[in-house]
Structure 1
Amino acid sequence: MVSGRLPPLPHLSWFATHFPRAQFVRTGFGIDRTWSGRVALVNKHLCDKFVKALKIRENEVIVDVFAGHGAMTRSLLAGGDEVGSSQRWEQAAKSLLAVDYTTARKGGTVKSPLLPFAWLEDREAIPKILENLKNVPSEVPGDSSAENAPGPTVKPRLVVAFEPSASLLIRGLGVPEEYLRAEGNLLLEREGKGPERLYQSTCDPRLRIVCGQPYYWNNLPAVIEHEDIAEDLVASGTIKIDTDSPDKAREHWQNHTPHLTLVIQPSHKPFGESLVSQWIASVIGAAEGEPTWIWKWGRVRLAVLVSKTMYDRMMAQPGELSNSKLSILTHALYDVKPLPPRHHSPNVLNKGRKVKDELRFLPSQSAREGDLQAYYDAMDLSRDETWPLDFNPSPWGESYSSKVPLERPDVLGLLLEPKVETVITSTQRYTWEYVLRKCMAKPLHPISRAIHAIGFGADKLIPLIESVSSEYKGDPVGPKEVARDMSIAQWARVVDVVDKWKYKPVEASSLAHVVLKSGRGGDDD
């Protein structure tokens, strides 16, 4: 097999032609769930910045979930140097490709990078181009990759592209259609038992591809523990935790850092956001030696590209307008860091539609003003300029123009690194869910009023919540403290008091509507 790289994707203005919106919705070949509302980052410069900010570690194994047409996959394989790598490809391909890809367009002439036509019209030329790449210098004239993503280039040991849409895999990553049609080559729905072999790219041997549905809970672990990547996982230092011994599992969690990262670009629809919310909560119990799902491999990093509304909820701090149940759980369980494309707006209004650059406080929020200001003083608030064509499908509409930059990116990045220790324990996981869901339903109510939603007689718990006694976890909460202003330590006090209450509602012990292990259900507000 000739080593090298995947042929580059087309010019941004041609994406809609080669990757119609319908390809992000349809799956085919027996994959039974559609995914509307998907938006992928396709600008090579921004993908490179994302990968550089991710700081790939030596021998890293990366699973690219919802890989789409492979724009992010290519940057991951290049270690954040896809801009320079695609320019080197063009140098190697100039004398070999028979088709002229210079096309007359309004306002001048536009030249497309030399693919995706290579999959369709010049497939035979690819091995020759890959051979020519060996003679192309590491830097070619006009290579601007360094200015986009400074720092050393560290390439991953292996990238696994996990995508439910067969047509995107065929057109974007070059998977042969006959391979997808062959029996046993798809990840079996719900069962997590297949495929027999992961497809290895003929262009880059470091790329494995699997066509399957990430929505089902068992499928992602089935990919991670597949025998085709077992050797690479061992080389990356990723070892499955021995769950039979809680003490050993706890020690492994605390002292071992696996070089395994999941990159996720979920749907912006409610079921996509619900999926990410469940993944976030699924880490509960791992720090105590009871890991489930992907956490059986240790503190796996999650790098997510989510909608701006979900980003605001995940990043919100106590006292901010978007602070919610999801905000509290995210910061209690993970160390959170923004990734490109960056455009953080402090104290943004709900739904991310109205961007406010300055901090705004309601009267009840003044107590948190100093904490919030200190938080943002220590945070990188740089912003990346983005355009509609930087995303596919592009956010076309009455308020969008290809000649005007977006007021705020439709997709924003976050890196979630699980905490070694967390205040949320496995024995109280359902109490946390219940208390936050009930109390944050009316976030501007003081806790002395919000506590009534817990159940009949819950007002009797107020003295215990206010007490400075060390009998309960966390920090005491004043009766006038507003629910949206409360810190994680204060919520720990409320949850601990409710959990030890002899009249605790049954729902707080086992939530039927929140399923953290099955991959279905749950709310994220």
Structure 2
Amino acid sequence: MPRARLPPLPPSSAWSKHFPSRYLPVSPDRIMIRKAPGRILLSNPVLCDNYVKSLKLREGEVVIESYAGVGALTRSLISGGDSVGEAKRWDGSKLDVPAEGEVTTSQGSGKSVIKKKKKRDPKEFPIWLEALPPPLPEAERPKEDDKLVKPRLVVASEGSSELLVRAFDYPSSHMHTNSHAVTSSSNPELESGAGSSSTEGISNGSTITDTPGRSGPPIVQSPYEPNLLLSHSTSYVWSTLPLLLENPLVSEHLPVYDASAAPGPETTKRPWKAPEPPITLVAQLPDSSIGEQLAAQWVGSAVGDPDQQRTWIWEWGRLRLALLCGKSLYDRILAKPGDIINCKLSILAQALFDIVPLPPYHHVQNVDKQSKFTVDRPVKYTSLAPKSNAKPIGMPTSTPSDFVTASLSATSEGLVGERLVGQQKTITYPGDFWPPPTTSTKAKAKPLERPPLLGLMLIPKIETPILAAQKDTWDYVMRRLFVRDTMTLKDSIPNLAFGAEILLKRIQEDGMQIDEKTGENKVKWRGVPVDESRVIRELHVEEWLRIVDVFDKWAFKPDNLILDSGGLDENIRELGQD
């Protein structure tokens, strides 16, 4: 008997009926956790497969998928990038629904009788069965591709309970609660699959678990896919992702790095300098302030020294972040010095990560701040002095990861400034995304000028110029100076603090000095000299390093460098606690 398979999704044109967009922004706790407006999902299975193939999944890969939505990308992930083939191979064996006009023979009289079509329960899974084409005969079904690397495990996290039930057949009676205390032992109904249409394929006889001794989101084993776990949770809550990795159902699939550690998830954690773990965080981030907040915090949380013990998801080492994000966030992360949209996030991202574009592709050089332009524009540099050609001090030279090297050799991507930027452009249509960018019938037939979702892979660097002790200084200096990003350093530096003009001389001088006792050269200032006529928007990482290093060592810098943003959401997100 063929293994159970998660039913393929209906055509994207039918999503409005089965997955109303009003369910997308819903959070697990409507009182304590804010909604996620601006959510967009990939709905084209071919695009999803291309995205997953571009991840170059490794043997034994564990994927944590955040904002899974209705599961189009999830189905590609669990198949290793072959959801189209999986849909053709699906035989509907999980659904005991007689077809209309089915002929059976009575054992008593031998007469043939025609059974009437069974009426489907409107809540029966999948609710979109009628929208699926009839299963192909066994002989016509495509064979599985042995070359594809399937992940060892996929954990799909979604905050909307209605989407989880409709798209994955999640047990609706066991949704995430404020107590977080849901375990298989305390819910005997789950042992028999109560609340689900079927329980075949459930591993170890349990469907839901929680981390002992810690409050965390429940995890449910999918009855349709042995390598799929479901979680009613949201990564907007800061503790969600590490708790998912610590969960016994997940940690047992992670490679053991330190066998001498206490049994459990501690054995799977590793230092920063260790080889990359086979763990990838995939997220279809909301195209709103929520998505920007998450991306900025995830990027900033990677700050640390190579020998420092990390926190949050970085306890497991240098995890890969694979994002599908809106155009504005994509442009900000990939912006190079001189671009109009170059900002603090651009500097942090390029300093802390190797970045590779993923499909859908469509990079625009020097795009406007609203990301409306769809073609490249030349950068108009306004600095009166060029960047110093002195050898940078304190700038580590790290070797690009294997993923970066393979991406450069396998695609038409190239180096633009200090970023990897794809030259190819993916043709997309409104129906490739949900909700579609337009509802006009005429517009749906035309290709989009630029996809509303674009892919990025962020791979943490081992060594970066941002020291853990200077993290707050980097944040403070960039925030203050980018307020006047079109001004020169000389005109903008007073914004740092009263009397900060005195630092200009130090910023522009040589970074080495002779030790009077030993007569040897020693580092005085890191980075490279920065001419006072340089425009803030055009500064490179090594120039920011000099400004930050000088300001950090200034005796009269402000005592409090943390800029308070206020708001009740800090209690939820625990901003700055990374």
Q: Which residue of 2 aligns with 1:154?
A: 149
Shift of 1:340: 0.5
What does residue range 429-440 of structure 1 map to in structure 2 within 5 Å? 429-440=471-482
Aligned AA (2:154): V
- Corresponding position: 1:169 with 2:194: no
Q: Judge which range, 64-73 or 399-408, deviates more.
A: 399-408
> Does structure 2 retain, via aligned residues, the 8 Å contact 1:3–1:205?
no
> Does structure 2 retain, via aligned residues, the 8 Å contact 1:65–1:262?
yes
Aligned with residue 381 of structure 1, among 409, 415, 423: 423
Q: Which runs of 5+ in 1 are unaligned?
A: 101-114, 141-145, 244-248
What does residue range 161-240 of structure 1 map to in structure 2 within 5 Å? 161-180=156-175, 184=182, 193-195=215-217, 198-234=219-255
C-alpha spacing 1:328/1:135, structure 2 compared with 1 (3 Å): same
C-alpha spacing 1:367/1:359, structure 2 compared with 1 (3 Å): farther
**1: CA distance, partners of 2:174 / 2:138:** 29
What does residue range 72-91 of structure 1 map to in structure 2 within 5 Å? 72-89=73-90
> Does structure 1 retain, via aligned residues, the 8 Å contact 2:356–2:420?
no
Aligned AA (1:155): K
> Does structure 2 retain, via aligned residues, the 8 Å contact 1:319–1:365?
no
Aligned AA (2:274): N
**2: CA distance, partners of 1:366 / 1:350:** 25
The alignment partner of 2:175 has SS state of helix
Q: Which residue of 2 aligns with 1:139?
A: 143
The alignment partner of 1:415 has SS state of strand
Shift of 1:399: 11
Aligned with residue 303 of structure 1, among 314, 322, 325: 322
Aligned with residue 331 of structure 2, among 296, 312, 316: 312
Aligned AA (1:484): R
> Does structure 2 retain, via aligned residues, the 8 Å contact 1:262–1:303?
yes
- Corresponding position: 1:453 with 2:498: no
Q: Which residue of 2 aligns with 1:420?
A: 462
> Does structure 2 retain, via aligned residues, the 8 Å contact 1:43–1:390?
yes
> Does structure 1 retain, via aligned residues, the 8 Å contact 2:270–2:316?
no
C-alpha spacing 1:500/1:133, structure 2 compared with 1 (3 Å): farther
C-alpha spacing 1:286/1:51, structure 2 compared with 1 (3 Å): farther
Shift of 1:228: 1.3
> Does structure 1 retain, via aligned residues, the 8 Å contact 2:362–2:422?
no
> Does structure 2 retain, via aligned residues, the 8 Å contact 1:29–1:166?
no
CA offset digits 1:307-358 (Å, max 9, x no partner): 1011100000111111100100011110001001110011111120122324
**2: CA distance, partners of 1:240 / 1:284:** 27
Shift of 1:83: 1.3
Aligned with residue 348 of structure 1, among 354, 363, 367: 367
- Corresponding position: 1:491 with 2:513: no
- Corresponding position: 1:15 with 2:68: no
C-alpha spacing 1:378/1:180, structure 2 compared with 1 (3 Å): closer
**2: CA distance, partners of 1:250 / 1:117:** 41
C-alpha spacing 1:351/1:426, structure 2 compared with 1 (3 Å): same
C-alpha spacing 1:399/1:414, structure 2 compared with 1 (3 Å): farther
Shift of 1:118: 4.5
C-alpha spacing 1:386/1:257, structure 2 compared with 1 (3 Å): same
Q: Which residue of 1 aligns with 2:405?
A: none
Query: Looking at CA atoms only, which structure, 1 or 2, has the larger radius of gyration?
Result: 2
Shift of 1:137: 5.1
**1: CA distance, partners of 2:419 / 2:24:** 39
Shift of 1:46: 0.8
Shift of 1:419: 0.4
Q: Which residue of 2 aligns with 1:120?
A: 127
CA offset digits 1:345-377 (Å, max 9, x no partner): 111111201223243424449958xxx985499
- Corresponding position: 1:481 with 2:550: no
Aligned with residue 469 of structure 1, among 511, 516, 532: 511
**1: CA distance, partners of 2:384 / 2:72:** 42
- Corresponding position: 1:271 with 2:324: no
The alignment partner of 2:531 has SS state of coil
What does residue range 367-406 of structure 1 map to in structure 2 within 5 Å? 375=417, 379-396=421-438, 401-406=443-448
> Does structure 2 retain, via aligned residues, the 8 Å contact 1:61–1:259?
yes
Aligned AA (2:278): H
Higher helix share: 1
Aligned AA (2:422): D
**2: CA distance, partners of 1:202 / 1:47:** 23
**1: CA distance, partners of 2:527 / 2:546:** 4
> Does structure 1 retain, via aligned residues, the 8 Å contact 2:49–2:81?
yes
CA offset digits 1:74-106 (Å, max 9, x no partner): 100010111111122269899977379xxxxxx
TM-score (normalizing by structure 2): 0.75
* % identical equivalent positions: 35
The alignment partner of 1:254 has SS state of coil
CA offset digits 1:14-71 (Å, max 9, x no partner): 1111111111022457674322111111111111111111110000000000111111
> Does structure 2 retain, via aligned residues, the 8 Å contact 1:240–1:297?
no
C-alpha spacing 1:181/1:221, structure 2 compared with 1 (3 Å): closer
What does residue range 43-58 of structure 1 map to in structure 2 within 5 Å? 43-58=44-59
Shift of 1:519: 2.7
Shift of 1:117: 7.4
C-alpha spacing 1:448/1:299, structure 2 compared with 1 (3 Å): same
C-alpha spacing 1:472/1:360, structure 2 compared with 1 (3 Å): closer
Aligned AA (2:573): G
C-alpha spacing 1:241/1:264, structure 2 compared with 1 (3 Å): farther
Shift of 1:220: 1.3
Shift of 1:241: 12
C-alpha spacing 1:166/1:134, structure 2 compared with 1 (3 Å): farther
Shift of 1:468: 1.2
**1: CA distance, partners of 2:295 / 2:419:** 29
C-alpha spacing 1:437/1:398, structure 2 compared with 1 (3 Å): farther
> Does structure 2 retain, via aligned residues, the 8 Å contact 1:187–1:194?
no
Aligned with residue 294 of structure 1, among 295, 313, 316: 313
